[in-house]
Chain A
Amino acid sequence: MRNKTMKWAMWSAMTAISLALSVVETVLIPAGFFPVPGFRIGFSNIVTLISVYLFGALPTAGIVIMRTFMVFAFGGNVIAFLFSLFGGILAVAAMVALKRARCFSMFGVSAGGAAAHSTGQILAAAFLTGSKALFLYLPLLLWLSIPAGLLIALLSTPIVRALEGFSRSPRID
């Protein structure tokens, strides 16, 4: 990335895009479209995935946290906020770890992130309600998150190709 201002502009734009994707998804795919409560594809994770590749761990975590706060401010509820925050942070951590492992493609990174997101949400839910029985709900959510993650990777691939030319050089870390 060329300079500091450019970086901040990119991060801000990414935050805005992910917020827009999240809101548009909520409007276009209403809760209950999938017969699994709480499940969504999470198109805003396109931004998360791209950010992991282009900006690295910390800026991505920042983008995800900002997005979660703003979705909350745009009329979310506290429970959903805590779920997304915990799921989101865990997803970023998983994506960064998988990317650094260097043996997974973007598809693996995305699927792993999506799975971590589901697990994080269930963990948050189990923590908030104190009900371990919620873990019985994890398999369904985990399995559904894998195709969702793969779809996100498929959609992100051309964007990463285009944006890598834009940034100074591919990030190797």
Chain B
Amino acid sequence: MIDESSKSPKTNVCGAHGLKFCRADFILIVVLILAGLIPFAIGGLIRSRDGADGTAAVLTVAGTERFRCPIREEMEPVVYTAEIDGLEITVSVDSSGARITHSDCPDQICVRTGKISEAGQSAVCVPLRAILRIETDGTPAGSARVNESDTIDAVAE
């Protein structure tokens, strides 16, 4: 390959018109990678302060939370159906955990994942971009909480 930069009228390869990867770019990328760790650090802090004692089933679609339901010892089973671009996904939550019971996706991997109950576990439906996961949902009185307080489920507690 011919060195195209020699044909370019720009002399400063790392200036405003630089088209070549340079050291500043490298530094920027390292900073960005490190910046990606900040949410983990903050999340860990909040979580440890929270002293979580409960869990909640959370359904997100394309990164957007659609449904959240705290899992409690004594609770009526909850069934929720989300529609995503005309396709449906159904989750059911009861005291022992949560599962995706139905999905209009071709591979059915999410349904076959079965029941999940431990915080951090998830059932993923890639074709519908839906994730059902179990989160810690501890809300000791007076402490900060990770999760929003304005969902119906939280109010219904």
Contacts and interface: CB of A to CB of B under 8 A. Distances in A.
Tell whether A pairs with B. Answer: yes
Nearest to A129: B65
Contacts, number: 129
Interface in A124-173: 125, 128-140, 142-143, 146, 157-158, 160-161, 164, 170, 172
Given A103-B24, A111-B32, A170 B17 contact: yes
Contacts of A140: 36
B17 A53 contact: yes
Q: Is the interface of A mostly helix, strand, loop or mixed?
A: helix
B40 A136 contact: yes
Q: Is the interface of B mostly helix, strand, loop or mixed?
A: loop
B129 A38 contact: yes
Contacts of B64: 79, 125, 128-129
Nearest to A108: B25
B142 interface: no
How many chain A residues sit at the interface, stated as a range, is 35 or more
A72 B15 CA distance: 36
Interface in B35-50: 35-37, 39-40, 42-43
A82 B9 CA distance: 40
Nearest to A143: B36
Interface of A: 31-32, 35, 37-38, 53, 77, 79-80, 83, 98-100, 102-108, 111-112, 115, 121-122, 125, 128-140, 142-143, 146, 157-158, 160-161, 164, 170, 172
